[in-house]
A = this chain, B = another copy of it.
Amino acid sequence: MNVVMKASLSLIVLLLCGLAQAQDPLGSWNEGPSKKAIVEFVKKVTDKNSKAFVPAKERIAVFDNDGTLWVEHPMYVQLSFALDRIKELAPQHPEWKTKQPFKAVLEGDMKALEALGEKGVAEIIMTTHAGMTTAEFDEIALKWITTARHPKFKVPYTQLVYQPMVELLEFLRSNDFRTFIVSGGGIEFMRPWAQKSYGIPPAQVVGSSIKLKYELRDGKPELLRLPEINFIDDKEGKPIGIQSHIGIRPIAAFGNSDGDYQMLEWTTAGTGLRLGMIVHHTDAKREYAYDRQTAFGKLDKALDAANSHGWVVINMQKDWKTIFKND
């Protein structure tokens, strides 16, 4: 190598290093207390000379999905899926025209739907989520997610994933964290697209589930989805889901509603440095603004408890430069 080549090479290396430094891994976060809390936490737990150092094996971070990683208004995405599915199946069920809760769904009668209560919702979920094999459901969910459009933003739901949270997931993983979804949503509804949207593989998705049955169909083994609840991964269920799937307590948890209260509590009650954060929907212009008064993603008790528990509240409107992945 001659002198000119050597000099050129050094220059290229320097430029590349400079570029790498300039590229902020949390570029969609405005400077402020939320971004600072994340950066300082990660710095401390990954610094071998810090008292707060945590070995890579124990760097587990858990994320709620609806309202934390993607949009949950005007209703949970999975509920939209269920309602669309009822409409799709309706021609095979003429009796639904006069039978609740299906009648309300088919007529788009939101008032009647809201009045259905738990039993009606359960009936809609079981009708649309059970009675097929896991492979069939996987296909149904994936087909819907790639074709359905959000009523306000008119784009596929996977484009309504929050860019700052995607950056946070990647930032944590680049610091040897393992990232898990811990959601009240259906585990099999999230898995088909979580890898692509969040970089989270199926084994790192924890969610609610219905019972499965193993059986042979023409000699071919299948897992059949039964119309019976197996596990509800919400509220007190979240720490249980975490224990069952992950087996050790996370050191960081991210949620946005009272359904995440116990997950935040369980995570931040551990010894050593912990990070708990709440996404507060404060941006009516770019997304939605809601907290204490909403049917989807109610944030009330967790908001009150944030201060005393040291949970950092993310102000979407102030803290996020961009909201959506494809802004």
* A266 interface residue per 8 A CB criterion: yes
Whether B205 pairs with A244 at a CB distance below 8 angstroms is no
Question: Among the interface residues A188, A240, A243, A248, which one has the most CB atoms of the partner chain B within 10 A?
Answer: A243
The answer on a CB contact under 8 Å between A248 and B178 is no
Cα–Cα distance between A134 and B240 once the two chains are bound (Å): 10
| Least CB separation from A247: chain B residue | B202
Is A195 an interface residue when CB atoms closer than 8 A count as contact? Answer: yes
Return chain B residues, CB-CB under 8 Å to A178: 203
Could you tell me the distance in whole angstroms from the C-beta of A7 to the nearest C-beta in chain B?
Answer: 21
Given A223-B239, A265-B221, A212:B57 Cβ within 8 A: no
**Complexed CA–CA distance, A57 and B196 (Å):** 12
A247 in contact with B187 given A262-B214, A269-B220 (CB within 8 Å): yes
Query: Contact: A243 with B221, CB < 8 Å?
Result: no
Going nearest first, the 7 A-B pairs with the smallest beta carbon separation are: A202-B247, A214-B236, A212-B240, A203-B246, A214-B239, A191-B247, A221-B269
| Docked complex Cα distance between A60 and B266 (Å) | 30
Q: 16 pairs across A/B with beta carbons < 8 Å?
A: A57-B195, A60-B203, A178-B203, A187-B244, A191-B247, A202-B248, A205-B247, A212-B240, A214-B236, A214-B237, A214-B262, A221-B239, A221-B266, A223-B239, A223-B243, A245-B245
